[in-house]
Amino acid sequence: MSTPNSAKPANPAPLGLMAFGMTTILLNLHNVGLFPLSSVILAMGIFYGGIAQVIAGIMEYKNGNTFGTTAFTSYGMFWLSLVGLILMPSMGLGEATSEAFLASYLAIWGIFTTFMFVATLARYPVAKQTVFGSLAVLFFLLAAGDFTGSVAIGHLAGVVGIFCGSSAIYLAMATVINNEFGRTVLPIGEKKVSASVESIKAAA
């Protein structure tokens, strides 16, 4: 008879991916010029994009997943810091960030994400590679848009951001649906593990 302590832990990745994906789409609907920067984006950035991703990262830590811990905790804190950058000057907590400094902030996140993308190439499915690859492009486009002041680059970043967020939502829902059905309903481009790799794992 199984006990609560022996139950299989939940997979926190869909939670983290949905939190990231939905918040990213909302922000980039603003970046393409469809909506102003409003409390909808800020609230999502704090509670879903921020806190929910950090929770997912903590859960990944308990599951022993270094990649998931690093990704979800970092991007959760990104959303919280981004909201802080927007709100703190109006609260008298520091000066407003210049466009050039904001570009540097975004570029650093782009560099971090590029390394995370490279890590996905080792063994993760194509769907996850797409999320991180498009996110790296998004950060660099946002940085370029802020540095140059180009509206066109900002709009292009918005389009890439909507794609990136959508790819994260797809991966999240594919993970949930495939798990519930016990088979692949929505493909995510999983890599086939060779027999030699399997034998190495078995011998380890």
Question: Residue 78's closest CA among 42, 116, 49?
Answer: 49
| DSSP helix/strand/coil, 2 | coil
Backbone φ/ψ region at 189: left (φ over 0), alpha (ψ -120 to 50), beta:
left
Question: Residue 128's closest CA among 93, 83, 164?
Answer: 164
Question: Residue 114's closest CA among 136, 129, 134, 131?
Answer: 136
In percent, the amount of the chain with pLDDT more than 70 equals 91
pLDDT for the residue numbered 154: 95
pLDDT tens column, 102-114: 999 999 999 999 9
Q: Please, which residues have CB within 8 angstroms of residue 77's CB and are 6 or more apart in sequence?
A: 50, 54
Whole-angstrom Cα distance, residue 153 to residue 149? 8
Residue whose tokens read 């139950």: 7
pLDDT tens column, 58-97: 999 999 999 999 999 999 999 999 999 999 988 888 788 8
Cβ distance 162 to 25 under 8 Å?
Answer: yes
Cβ distance 59 to 12 under 8 Å?
Answer: yes
The ranges assigned to domains in the chain are: 9-203
Task: Give me the residues of the chain with pLDDT under 50, please.
Answer: 1-4, 194-204
